[in-house]
């Protein structure tokens, strides 16, 4: 499957800090993967997504190899691909994976072959592949309540939402939170995490997503196609902007004095924030910190029936380019995923 990657420049750190650090530090060519049998993996070649045969990687110390069943699709995938296109040899694409542990590296304890897991993969070992090796600090047991396709939609979206609402905004029970873009991958994760914290959740979306958002816990849904959301929302303690910086600017009017605006789509001008008597923050780079503590908490929510993933559509690995085209339209309800052939 070949499709040109759009060449619009992207500031990697602004766009995908969760994964960008790993990309910048780790861009060895696929030749550095261990030799042996081969697997199918989606890579960028000549600016196009191609499924190629590459060596099956061998797990090193502290790593497991996962036989991937499904890969979640994130905006970071195409944003990183544009960066990778300018930086030399591309890693295997994708960050989010679900699958079965297939091999253990030296010194790995507490995990066994055959366990079902979710993972945040680390370049060059992307998730658009039949196998990936992942440090154990980046995996968690798959929720019992979710299919492999659904579980593959957890890592990037849930970690981003958790870091934004809990680590940065310190969201408390009883607080009012506005999730701008509530029906998307990060937004739907944020709605559920906020609800599980006991917050009063207001979410923006187009009208077609109202029922979905109420089903995952939104107390109010504002249809942004019917007028500016800031005319309907007041006195919130926390805003999470997942849409664009212009929405972030408008959302300032919805916050109580002393409230906090967290943006995952661009930094706010601090003078505007000060003038509005609010705090503005971004989750920033995770700096390679372990994903497991975040994933474990979201898996616990899922196992308790408090977190689910709506799979808008599943694509075959060879149709990854089509998945990206759909995702870039910006109207995914929940997640797009790739099913990985065995």
Instruction: Please give the residue ranges that form the binding site for ligand NAP (CB under 6 A).
Output: 15-18, 74-76, 79, 156-157, 160, 180-181, 183-187, 204-206, 209, 224, 242-243, 264-265, 283, 327, 330-333
Contact 5, 78 (CB under 8 A): yes
To the nearest whole angstrom, how small is the minimum distance from the Cβ of residue 23 to ligand NAP? 13
The residue among 21 and 60 lying less far from ligand NAP, judged by its C-beta, is 21
In the complex, which residue's CB is closest to ligand NAP?
184
Closer CB to ligand NAP, 208 or 277, in the complex:
208
CB of 61 to ligand NAP, least distance (A): 28
Q: ω before 124 within 30° of 0 (cis)?
A: yes
**Residue 149 and residue 71: Cα distance in Å, rounded?**
7
Tell me the two tokens of residue 45: 């070649």
Shortest distance, CB of residue 327 to ligand NAP, whole angstroms?
Answer: 6
Check: CB of residue 234 under 8 Å from CB of residue 184: no
**Considering beta carbons, is residue 130 or 332 the nearer one to ligand NAP?**
332
Instruction: Give the nearer residue to ligand NAP in terms of CB position, either 250 or 316.
Output: 250
Nearer to ligand NAP among residue 33 and residue 97 (C-beta): 97
CB of 156 to ligand NAP, least distance (A): 6
Question: Which residues partner with 200 through β-bridges?
Answer: 176
Query: Cβ 281 to ligand NAP, closest distance in Å?
Result: 11
What is the Cα–Cα distance from 48 to 29, expressed in whole angstroms?
A: 16
Q: E strands along the chain, which residues?
A: 38-45, 48-55, 63-73, 96-104, 116-120, 131-135, 139-141, 176-180, 200-205, 220-223, 236-241, 255-263, 279-281, 311-316, 335-339
Compute the least distance from the CB of residue 190 to ligand NAP, in Å: 9
CA distances from 93 to 37, 39, 70 (A): 20, 14, 13
- CB-wise, 135 or 283, nearer to ligand NAP? 283
């Amino acid at each position: 499957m070949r499709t040109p990657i759009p060449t619009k420049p992207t500031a990697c750190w602004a766009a995908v800090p969760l994964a960008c650090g790993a990309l910048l530090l780790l861009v060895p060519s696929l030749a550095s993967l261990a030799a042996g049998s081969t697997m199918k993996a989606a890579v960028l070649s000549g600016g196009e997504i191609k499924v190629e045969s590459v060596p099956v990687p061998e797990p090193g110390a502290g790593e497991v190899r996962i036989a991937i069943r499904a890969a979640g699709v994130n905006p970071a995938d195409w944003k990183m691909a544009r960066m990778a296109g300018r930086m030399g040899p591309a890693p295997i694409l994708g960050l989010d994976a679900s699958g079965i542990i297939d091999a253990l590296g030296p010194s790995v304890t507490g995990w066994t072959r055959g366990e079902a897991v979710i993972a945040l993969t680390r370049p060059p070992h992307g998730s658009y592949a039949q196998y990936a090796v992942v440090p154990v600090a980046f995996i968690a047991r798959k929720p019992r309540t979710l299919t492999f396709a659904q579980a593959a939609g957890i890592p990037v979206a849930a970690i981003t939402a958790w870091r934004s609402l809990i680590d940065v905004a310190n969201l408390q029970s009883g607080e009012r939170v506005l999730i701008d873009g509530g029906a998307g991958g990060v937004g739907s994760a944020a709605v559920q995490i906020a609800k599980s914290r006991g917050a009063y959740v207001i979410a923006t979306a187009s009208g077609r997503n109202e029922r979905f958002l109420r089903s995952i816990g939104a107390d109010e849904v504002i249809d942004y196609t019917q007028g500016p959301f800031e005319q309907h929302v007041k006195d919130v303690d926390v805003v999470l902007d997942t849409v664009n910086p212009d929405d972030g600017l408008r959302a300032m009017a919805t916050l109580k004095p002393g409230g906090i605006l967290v943006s995952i789509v661009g930094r706010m001008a601090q003078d505007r924030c000060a003038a509005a008597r609010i705090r503005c923050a971004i989750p920033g780079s995770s700096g390679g910190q372990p994903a497991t503590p975040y994933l474990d908490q979201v898996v616990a929510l899922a196992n308790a029936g408090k977190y689910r993933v709506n799979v808008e559509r599943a694509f075959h690995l060879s149709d990854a380019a089509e998945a990206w085209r759909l995702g870039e339209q910006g109207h995914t309800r929940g997640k797009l995923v790739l099913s990985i052939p065995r």
